[in-house]
């Protein structure tokens, strides 16, 4: 061993004890061995940005934990750098050093390339590792950022301070390894050129990884306000408002500045670290764990895309959970669009420092506010700041995805039209809970109580909720997609669109509506199937929300097998537990109760949980809707061919597709139906003979499972039957306006729910009927003239009869009875006009 190597080894030994006491490092990803498919047989060499003995010691510790080569100082006299050697692109910062480039790493790369060429059976791999301390991006034009943000920018004294104050917030981030036997590297070429190419690739990687992990440097707040007020779009509105003569230019500028202060986040890395430590304690107390799926692709694409996270919105915990987990997974926490209702003391200040920016519910009538908000959002996008917003606009009280509010989407598209440095990447996120701490308030709201306004008093009430146990949380990242690609696929000539925000392109409205629907479908595709959702779906299919325990366990096992044999999406997360284990989890969470009985234990839902169970079953209804619809066909049809099944499903499918945001297009539908039928046959729930499908005998347990599964889609079919019945009850020449059809459908649904004890408030949700009527129009099932109302077409009679054929006779009779009762009530409510006597 050379003298320099001996000195380095001695220095590392001296560093070991203080680093052990001062530093607690985390790594991202948490398991780089499996994520990057690293092996002990690989000849792994680590590459870091800046020379640091501390980084070598941290890699030594990580190597022991992961079973990877331990980090070690490179002995440059060796023919080939040994496993675990650390190569540095830059030398340690120094006041007197002008050239910081470390040429030694290229020499080592040449040796490694030659070794790879001479030993093709050995996998030589370069593993880039970034080391972050405190993850403070610093402020633009700040002298102190050189001392507080990064060891790579600090000398020995600055490094000592960083380790002293930020040693507990150290993150080691492993990057995608580069295999030297990769086809992209021509080993026959000049090794020096290949070494230079690798060095350049690494430098680009570290630069992009920095922004993706830490985020761009934050803008001085005073400069931010001045910059937005002085921007062309805002100035254009100010000048136009000034010409109206009501307000002076100075007053308008001052008001614009106030709007910026009201809107803009005041991001603070200290607040992020504080919230991280607090939330870690909270999550570990109330949750059994946070399970993250499908993040690898996002981590890779975050380096060169402007990321927009678009989660579903179920709870106030959503944005806290997502930002918390992204931070711990080595990604920059996003700036979050929050409703102005959350800007109350002290939550508003805390959220603002955590990256929240606030927006009003409506911009209508306030052009200046709209211009300021658009400009602020554009600046976030253009700086590369990750952004998060909930396109549903508010929390779902039914467990279904709400129809997208397209305001934020439209502003995002308009920002793209102005031109951005990075392409926009939408990342749909499904957030699922085994139990929600807002469950009690949701039950009240579903029963008609007024939503409570967010306040400090309500915040104090959270303490009671934090004393309970809520099971697991699931963060599933859906399939990302680029906004530019989406617009190109719709053949929108967006590159030629006007940059004037007042001149909205004709295609914008339809494009953002389709964009919102696409995001919802991808969120649903990433759903997580958990114990409470499955148990709720099963028990709600029974008349009294109760089932024999063994029968319930068998039904849960069937649902799991069906989801695996006829998968909904590769992004869907399915449990590995058995049906019995899932039931035990639901019992532990108090979602269901168990009653011992000599004939066999019974599991049931009671009280508020019966209402709340509809919420949880709706979380996964889209996954089982198509199998349930196919099962419903066999409730009243003994023998059906595959072609007939396909024809029946195609008639109904557009309504389910719109209501539940199911992922399959018409072109994909036939293949999925075939897969589901094959799965039913494999499970013994359907029999096939002479090209006809039949059900098992009534006494067969598989028959009861098929009939139970068929109940999941029955509420939706009843809603379709309600609107269609109203349309087909019209007299000759009579029409119904769209709003009237929606309103009358809702009233009739409320009547049926009251008469038949349907304990699911979303059964008469007006938004569902609005979607239903939209499909009736889009699919030409009605003749509709603007201002003259609508009537069913002749073809609509086939749809009506098909829907009725999937409902039981008692349900059909109840529907007709409720319709007659409603019509009689309307007639009685109409004023009686007495005719004048004839002379």
Residue 241 has pLDDT above 70, yes or no: yes
Reduce the DSSP state of residue 186 to 3 states and report it: coil
Looking up tokens 């992990």 gives: 213
In a domain, 94, yes or no: yes
pLDDT band at residue 341, thresholds of 50, 70 and 90? confident
| Rg, Å, the chain Cα set | 31
Residue 5 has pLDDT above 70, yes or no: no
Domain-ending residue, one of 214, 245, 265? 214
Residue 456 has pLDDT above 70, yes or no: no
Which helix H or strand E contains 682, and what residues bound it? helix 666-683
Nearest-angstrom CA–CA distance, 38 and 174: 12
Nearest-angstrom CA–CA distance, 176 and 216: 22
In a domain, 716, yes or no: no
For 594-616, the pLDDT digits (tens) are 998 888 899 999 877 888 899 99
Nearest-angstrom CA–CA distance, 65 and 88: 23
Q: DSSP secondary structure string, 434-484?
A: SS-TTHHHHHHHHTTPPPPPP-HHHHHTHHHHTTS---EEEEEE---EEHH
Say yes or no: 190 and 275 in one domain: no
pLDDT at 439: 72
pLDDT at 173: 94
Nearest-angstrom CA–CA distance, 637 and 537: 24
Strand 289-293 versus strand 472-477 pairing type: parallel
Say yes or no: 410 and 478 in one domain: yes
Is residue 93 a contact partner of residue 85, using CB atoms and an 8 Å limit?
no
Nearest-angstrom CA–CA distance, 71 and 795: 73
Number of domains in the chain: 2
Looking up tokens 């609509």 gives: 796
What number of CA atoms fall less than 13 Å from residue 741's CA on the CB side? 33
Say yes or no: 201 and 247 in one domain: no
Is residue 446 a contact partner of residue 396, using CB atoms and an 8 Å limit?
no
Other Cβ atoms less than 10 A from the Cβ of 135: the count is 22
Say yes or no: 257 and 139 in one domain: no
In a domain, 322, yes or no: yes
In a domain, 531, yes or no: no
What's this model's pTM, rounded to 2 decimal places?
0.91
For 27-38, the pLDDT digits (tens) are 999 999 999 999
Say yes or no: 317 and 384 in one domain: yes
Say yes or no: 164 and 276 in one domain: no
**Mean pLDDT along residues 557-564:** 97
For 267-297, the pLDDT digits (tens) are 998 899 899 989 999 998 889 999 999 999 9
Domain-ending residue, one of 491, 508, 525? 525
Say yes or no: 345 and 387 in one domain: yes
**If we measure between CA atoms, which residue out of 619, 635, 569, 559 comes closest to residue 804?**
635
CATH code of the domain in which 334 resides: 3.40.1130
Residue 554 has pLDDT above 80, yes or no: yes
Residue 176 has pLDDT above 80, yes or no: yes
Q: How much of the chain, in percent, has pLDDT values that exceed 90?
A: 62
Nearest-angstrom CA–CA distance, 254 and 247: 11
Nearest-angstrom CA–CA distance, 360 and 362: 5
Nearest-angstrom CA–CA distance, 180 and 126: 8
Q: DSSP secondary structure string, 241-278?
A: HHHTTSS-HHHHHHHHHHHHHHH-----HHHHHHHHHH
What number of CA atoms fall less than 13 Å from residue 195's CA on the CB side? 19
Say yes or no: 235 and 174 in one domain: no
For 763-781, the pLDDT digits (tens) are 888 889 999 999 999 999 9
Give CA torsion, residues 466, 609, 391, 461, to 10 deg: -30
**If we measure between CA atoms, which residue out of 513, 507, 511 comes closest to residue 661?**
513
Say yes or no: 245 and 169 in one domain: no
In whole angstroms, what separates CA 422 from the centre of its chain? 21
Structural domain harbouring 113 = 3-214
Say yes or no: 193 and 237 in one domain: no
Say yes or no: 260 and 182 in one domain: no
Nearest-angstrom CA–CA distance, 245 and 247: 6
**Mean pLDDT along residues 483-500:** 83
Task: Give the C-alpha distances (Å, rounded to integers) separating 152 from 58, 88, 159.
Answer: 15, 11, 9
pLDDT band at residue 9, thresholds of 50, 70 and 90? low
Domain-ending residue, one of 198, 214, 230? 214
Residue 174 has pLDDT above 80, yes or no: yes
Q: By CB neighbour count within 10 A (0-12 exposed, 13-18 middle, 19+ buried), where does 722 fall?
A: buried
List, in sequence order, the alpha helices (H) in 480-530. Answer: 483-489, 508-525
**Mean pLDDT along residues 724-735:** 88
In a domain, 68, yes or no: yes
SS3 helix, strand, coil % of the chain, rounded to 5?
55, 15, 35
pLDDT at 460: 55
Task: Give the C-alpha distances (Å, rounded to integers) separating 99 from 49, 51, 184.
Answer: 15, 14, 30
**Six-digit token string for 133:** 């301390």
pLDDT at 751: 85
- Cis peptide upstream of residue 541 (ω within 30 degrees of 0): no
**Mean pLDDT along residues 300-321:** 94
pLDDT at 433: 94
Task: Provide the angle, in degrees to the nearest 10, between the axes of the packed helices 249-263 and 367-383.
Answer: 50
In a domain, 612, yes or no: no
* Phi, psi for 375 (deg, rounded to 5): -65, -40
Residue 667 has pLDDT above 50, yes or no: yes
Reduce the DSSP state of residue 108 to 3 states and report it: helix
For 803-815, the pLDDT digits (tens) are 999 988 888 888 8
Is residue 166 a contact partner of residue 133, using CB atoms and an 8 Å limit?
yes
Is residue 437 a contact partner of residue 470, using CB atoms and an 8 Å limit?
yes
**If we measure between CA atoms, which residue out of 448, 760, 716 comes closest to residue 612?**
760
Nearest-angstrom CA–CA distance, 320 and 328: 12
pLDDT at 658: 94
**Six-digit token string for 539:** 């028990």
pLDDT band at residue 568, thresholds of 50, 70 and 90? very high
Is residue 454 a contact partner of residue 341, using CB atoms and an 8 Å limit?
yes
In a domain, 184, yes or no: yes
Residue 622 has pLDDT above 70, yes or no: yes
Q: Is 68 left (phi over 0), alpha (psi -120 to 50) or beta?
A: beta
In a domain, 276, yes or no: yes
pLDDT at 683: 96
As a whole number of angstroms, the longest Cα–Cα distance in the chain is 129
Say yes or no: 194 and 170 in one domain: yes
Q: By CB neighbour count within 10 A (0-12 exposed, 13-18 middle, 19+ buried), where does 367 fall?
A: middle
Length of the chain: 839
């Amino acid at each position: 061993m050379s003298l320099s190597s001996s000195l380095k080894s001695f220095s590392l030994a001296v560093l070991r004890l203080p680093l052990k006491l001062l530093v607690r490092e985390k790594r991202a990803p948490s398991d780089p061995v499996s994520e990057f498919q690293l092996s002990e047989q690989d000849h792994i060499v680590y590459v870091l940005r800046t020379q640091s003995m501390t980084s070598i010691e941290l890699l030594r510790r990580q190597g022991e934990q992961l079973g990877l080569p331990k980090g070690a100082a490179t002995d440059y006299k060796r023919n080939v750098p040994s496993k675990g050697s650390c190569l540095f692109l830059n030398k340690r910062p120094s006041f007197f050093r002008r050239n910081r480039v470390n040429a030694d790493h290229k020499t080592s790369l040449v040796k490694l390339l030659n070794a790879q060429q001479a030993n093709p059976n050995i996998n030589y791999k370069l593993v880039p590792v970034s080391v972050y301390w405190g993850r403070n991006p610093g402020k633009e034009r700040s002298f102190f950022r050189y001392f507080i943000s990064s060891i790579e920018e600090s000398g020995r004294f600055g490094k000592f301070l960083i380790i002293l104050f930020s040693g507990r917030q150290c993150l080691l981030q492993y990057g995608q390894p580069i295999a030297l036997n990769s086809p992209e590297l021509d080993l026959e070429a000049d090794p020096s050129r290949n070494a230079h190419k690798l060095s350049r690739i690494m430098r680009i990687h570290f630069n992009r990884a920095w922004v993706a992990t830490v985020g761009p440097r934050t803008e001085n707040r005073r400069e931010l306000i001045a910059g937005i007020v002085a921007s062309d779009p805002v100035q254009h509105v100010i000048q136009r408002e000034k010409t109206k003569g009501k307000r002076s230019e100075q007053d308008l500028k001052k008001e614009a500045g106030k709007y910026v202060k009201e809107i803009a986040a005041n991001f603070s890395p200290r607040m992020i670290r504080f919230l991280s430590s607090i939330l870690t304690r909270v999550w570990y107390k109330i949750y059994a764990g946070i399970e993250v799926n499908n993040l690898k692709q996002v981590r890779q694409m975050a380096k060169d895309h402007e990321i927009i996270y678009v989660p579903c919105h179920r709870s106030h915990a959503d944005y806290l959970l997502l930002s918390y987990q992204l931070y711990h997974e080595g990604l920059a926490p996003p700036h979050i669009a929050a409703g102005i209702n959350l800007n109350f003391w002290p939550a508003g200040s805390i959220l603002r420092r955590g990256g929240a920016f606030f927006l009003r519910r409506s911009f209508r009538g306030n052009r200046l506010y709209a211009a300021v908000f658009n400009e602020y959002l554009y600046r976030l996008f253009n700086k590369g700041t990750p952004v998060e917003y909930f396109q549903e606009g508010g929390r779902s009280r039914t467990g279904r995805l709400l129809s997208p509010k397209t305001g934020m989407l439209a502003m995002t598209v308009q920002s793209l039209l102005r031109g951005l440095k990075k392409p926009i990447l939408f990342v749909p996120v499904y957030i699922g809970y085994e139990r929600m701490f807002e469950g009690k308030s949701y039950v009240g709201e579903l029963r008609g109580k007024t939503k409570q306004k967010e306040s400090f008093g309500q915040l104090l009430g959270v303490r009671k909720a934090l004393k309970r146990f809520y099971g697991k949380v699931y963060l599933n990242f859906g399939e990302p997609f680029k906004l530019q690609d989406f617009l190109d696929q719709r053949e929108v000539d967006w590159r030629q669109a006007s940059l004037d925000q007042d001149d909205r392109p004709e295609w914008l409205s339809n494009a953002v509506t389709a964009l919102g629907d696409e995001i919802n479908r991808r969120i649903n595709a990433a759903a997580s199937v958990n114990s409470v959702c499955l148990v709720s779906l099963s028990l709600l299919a029974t008349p009294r929300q109760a089932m024999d325990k063994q029968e319930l366990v068998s039904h849960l096992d069937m649902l799991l097998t069906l989801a695996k044999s006829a998968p909904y999406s590769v992004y869907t997360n399915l449990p590995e537990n058995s049906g019995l284990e899932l039931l035990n989890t639901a019992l532990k969470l108090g979602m269901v109760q168990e009653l011992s009985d000599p004939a066999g234990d019974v599991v049931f839902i009671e009280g508020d949980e019966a209402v709340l169970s509809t919420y949880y079953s709706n979380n996964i209804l889209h996954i089982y809707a198509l199998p349930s619809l196919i099962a419903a066909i066999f409730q009243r049809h003994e023998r059906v061919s595959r072609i007939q099944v396909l024809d029946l499903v195609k008639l109904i499918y557009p309504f389910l597709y719109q209501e539940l945001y199911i992922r399959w297009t018409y072109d994909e539908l036939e293949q999925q139906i075939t897969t589901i039928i094959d799965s039913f046959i494999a499970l013994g729930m359907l029999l096939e003979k002479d090209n006809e499908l039949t059900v098992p005998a009534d006494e067969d347990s598989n028959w009861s499972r098929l009939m139970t599964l068929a109940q999941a889609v029955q509420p939706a079919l009843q809603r379709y039957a309600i609107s269609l019945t109203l349309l087909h009850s019209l007299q000759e020449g009579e029409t119904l306006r769209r709003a009237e059809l929606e309103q009358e459908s809702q009233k009739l649904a409320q009547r049926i729910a009251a008469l038949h004890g349907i304990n699911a408030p979303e059964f008469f949700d007006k938004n569902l009927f609005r979607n239903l009527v939209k499909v009736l129009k889009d699919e030409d099932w009605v003749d509709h003239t603007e201002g003259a109302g609508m009537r069913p077409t002749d073809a609509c009679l086939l749809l009506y009869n098909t829907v009725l054929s999937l409902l039981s006779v008692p349900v059909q009779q109840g529907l007709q009875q409720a319709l007659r009762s409603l019509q009689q009530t309307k007639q009685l409510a109409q004023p009686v006009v007495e005719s004048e006597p004839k002379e």
